[in-house]
Amino acid sequence: MKFRWLTQGSFLFESNNKRLLVDPYMSDFLETKGVKRMVKFPLSIEELKPDALLCTHDHLDHLDPETVVKISGKYPDCVLAGPERVFNHFTQLEISEKRRVLLQIDQTKTLAGFDVLPVFAKHSDPSAVGIIISADNKKVYLSGDTEFDEKITSNQLLKKMDLVLICINGKLGNMTLEQAFETVKKLRPVSALPMHYGLFSENTADPLPFIKKCIAEEIKSFEMKYDKFYNI
């Protein structure tokens, strides 16, 4: 399995020539609310080629209606998955029923060949989820947007992942960098990479202290770039 970071909480996972796209924010939708992007989305719609699109929750930087409509129009075989509020938003966007997949906590769904298990997240969208993605005998926990919570640090399913991708921005319902480190210290993954920073100047964080703390705890970590795939 390999993956590429596409800014904020967005990732493209690839395995066996299938692609799972998570939380793409490609438009300038939030500029109308005065929130300007600092970097461009790194791939074009043509380059994305998703077989499945998943939104972890119904906030604009994760479920961008303009992006969802464009992708569903360009890729008619792409399925679209998400928890309750996302699923309802897909319905409003007139995504056909046969392409919509409802994600529920602790129920695995297979999307584009990836096993996806939604897990608890504590966020202002009450149906928000994190996800465990499994493929090629590797497991990744993507936190989505979440506050620090005991239900995450004590979840046995999240222990000893190959990779944890975790939010660090410490604002708007997300854990701080210190809390993200406390979480990975308890979960003990092989690698932990910080995400959900660097897109909006009002809502960013310096990832380096998190990375240094992880390395000191013998958890691999580094700052991801937007221009390449990483192998897991």
Report in angstroms how near the CB of residue 5 gets to Zn ion at its nearest: 14
Binding site for Zn ion (CB under 5 A): 61, 145
CB of 40 to Zn ion, least distance (A): 18
Nearer to Zn ion, 14 or 145 (CB): 145
Between β-strands 114-120 and 11-15, what pairing exists: parallel, antiparallel or unpaired?
unpaired
Burial 181-203 (b: 16+ CB within 10 A, else e): bebbeebebebbbbbbbbbbeeb
- Residue with smaller CB distance to Zn ion, 61 or 64: 61
Residue closer to Zn ion by CB (options 109, 196) is: 196
- State in angstroms the smallest separation of the CB of 61 from Zn ion: 4
204-208, long-range: CB within 8 Å, 24+ apart, which pairs?
204/38, 204/169, 205/168, 205/169, 205/170, 205/177, 206/177, 207/168, 207/177
Q: Which is nearer to Zn ion, 51 or 145 (CB)?
A: 145
**230-231 and 100-102 beta bridge pairing:** unpaired
Q: How far is the CB of 62 from Zn ion (least distance, A)?
A: 6
